[in-house]
Amino acid sequence: MTRQHRGHGLGAALKIANHVALAEHTNVERIYTWNAVENSWMLAINDRAGFATWAWVGLWKKCLA
């Protein structure tokens, strides 16, 4: 995605539309999603879609020589 396409709400609209379609056609009661804490754009989309923070997960990596 190029920078000129950012900020128009396409990602939010697509994610929310998919969840609405899922709810209309299945018995799904719960959806989990996850994002890196530094991904403020997607965290804002999740907030707009009605998600609530349930847990924080930390991962660490060490490369050995």
Residue 50 to residue 20: CA distance in whole angstroms: 12
Q: Tell me the two tokens of residue 7.
A: 């900020």
pLDDT band of residue 62 (cuts 50, 70, 90) is: very high
What would the mean pLDDT of 30-58 be, rounded to a whole number?
A: 87
Residue 61 has pLDDT above 70, yes or no: yes
Sequence-distant (6+) residues with CB within 8 A of 42 are 11, 35
What would the mean pLDDT of 2-25 be, rounded to a whole number?
A: 85
What would the mean pLDDT of 45-53 be, rounded to a whole number?
A: 88
pLDDT confidence of residue 21: 92
Residue type, 23: A
Residue 26 to residue 22: CA distance in whole angstroms: 6
pLDDT confidence of residue 1: 57
Residue 16 to residue 49: CA distance in whole angstroms: 6
